[in-house]
Structures are given as structure tokens and as C-alpha cells.
Amino acid sequence: MRGLDDMYVFKTVVDRGGLSAAGRHLHVPKSTLARRIAELEGRLRAPLFHRGPRRFVLTTFGRECYEQCRKVVTEADKVFAMADRIRDVPAGSLHVICPPLLGEILIEQLAAEFAIAAPEVRLHLEATTSVFDPRAVSADLVIYAAFENLPDTDVVARRIFTSQFGLVAHPRVLAAAKPIDTPEALQQFDCLGFGPKSSEWLWRLKHGRETRTVPFRPRFSTTQLSALRQAARQGLGIAALPLMLCGEDIASGGLVRVLEHWEPPPVTFFAVYPSGRALTTAARRFLDLMVKRLPHVSYTSTRPET
């Protein structure tokens, strides 16, 4: 089994781009990894890397070995996953990545409940919007939000739920202006953008079978829904936000709907995981919990009773 362990070490060094990053990931000293790689090269009687002061590049032989090691490690992971699936109690580690605002409002609570119900699981919950492929960060599950079709990659994407977006604003944004009765009237107001700096800023709105596209120049733009919600709360302008994530603001009157019958495109949340590896018991149980609970959360559920 030492040979398999060294193959895993070698694969991790390549995947992480060097000894230092691999050491941090494996919680193993860099010197230990360097010795393990040297011992592996000694048994193979061929170098795996070109070495230099600022150079750590695979040799031709190293690239061929990496492809074989990747297959061996993947198959070995399947064996451990198969053993894990027959356990009645989830155990081991579970790494879940989710968008920050979704995590704050929904996932954090489910994660805490899961951790209490599964005490043998070491759960690590990470909030970021920059990860799609879980293999890039060795995650078990990535919760990914998409407005369009997902990239065509070798991963499994299981739909969790779809959330409708709505146009919202602080009441004072609308107080001194004429009522907004058409999408084109939005151009009279400050608007807030959600997306990269290079985005083509357009409201794409749908009412029944009718669609309208309205260009705008954002006063404030961001890639973080939490920042967008905060800007809307502060009265910076009109924003498109997931209704399920701003329900309390709408219920309290801190935000009001704008052009309620004209809807921006919805966002669909997926659980993404590697297609070449079966889910562990812990990952499968956590995914089942999200699929069961999250679709039933709506912005109306936070309205106070009358």
C-alpha cells in the first residue's frame, strides 16, 4: 500500500502545483513530501520532475506517470467510497462550498443541524462564488448558482431548487418619481448591477410570453449578492435579487417590489460533484437534506402572521 500512498502524494503535488501547496493541503511538511517523491523516483529509476530554483515541471515520463496515477487513485477512491456507502452512520470528512449569501441565510443552519445529527463527520463549510469544479479544490460538493446552462464538463450537477428573482428597491428610491409602469421607465432611476465588471448591463424581463430588454448603467455593481442586497437596503437604486433571500426585507417594508409582474431570469442552484467518484455517505446525506428542505423555502415564509 506504500506504493499507492506515494502515488496519491505524487498526484496531489501535481494537482496543487508544487510541494508547498500540497503540504498545506495534506498537512504534511514540505520536506517529507520532497523525500517521498525522491523515494518514488528512486524506485521508478527515472525523474518525475525537472528541478531548478524556480522550476518544478513534469518530465515526459512524469506526465505519463501522472495519468496512470490519476486513474489508480480514482479507482482506489471508489473502493473507499463503496465501503463508506455500506455504513449506517456517516463518518469521515465532508467539504462543502456554497455562495456566501445562500450560505448565510440557508446552508449554515442546515450544516449545523447535519453536524449535530452526524457527530462522526468532520464538516468544513466554505463560502465562495469562484469555484465550479469540485476537483479543483478537493471538495465533496459545490453549491453552484446558474442563470444559464452549466458548462459541459465531466462533473455531475444535481438540481436542488430554482429561485425567482424580482426587482426591488428601498421605498425612498421611488418616493420622488412617477410610478414605474413599464420596463423602459427603469431608465429614469439609479440601478444596481450583479455580475463581473465587464458585463453587458441589461434588464432582461419577462411578463407572460412578452419579453423586454432594457439597458442600464449601474451606479453600483458587484459579484456578491450580499453586497447587492446591502446596496439596495441603503437606497442606492433598483436591484434584481432572489426573492427567497430578501423575504424579511420585503415583509418589513425595508424593500418593495418594482414592476412586480415583470420578472428577471430565475437562478437555479445545483449541487456539483465529480462524476468519476461516488458520493460518500456523509455527502449523500447532506445533499439529500438540501434537496428536501431548500425547495420549500420561499420569501413568503418569512412574512409576519396577520
User: Residue-wise pLDDT tens for the chain (306 aa)?
Assistant: 456 778 888 888 888 888 888 887 777 788 888 888 888 888 888 899 887 665 678 899 989 988 988 888 877 777 766 666 656 678 889 999 998 877 877 888 899 999 999 999 999 999 887 777 777 777 889 998 888 777 666 678 888 988 899 999 999 998 877 788 899 999 989 999 998 888 899 999 999 999 999 999 999 999 888 899 999 999 999 999 988 888 889 999 999 999 999 999 998 889 888 765 567 889 989 999 999 888 776 544 433 333
Q: Which residues make Cβ contacts (< 8 Å) with residue 295, sequence separation at least 6?
A: 160, 161
**Domains plus CATH for the chain?**
2-85 (1.10.10.10), 92-156+269-302 (3.40.190.10), 165-258 (3.40.190.290)
Gap between the Cα atoms of 275 and 272, Å rounded: 9
Q: Which residues are within 8 A (CB) of 105 and not within 5 positions of it... i.e. 6 or more apart?
A: 245
d(CA 215, CA 79): 53
Do you know the residue count of the chain?
A: 306
Q: What is the pTM of this model?
A: 0.64
The answer to whether the beta carbons of residues 156 and 272 sit under 8 Å apart is: yes
Contact predicate 79/278, CB 8 Å: no
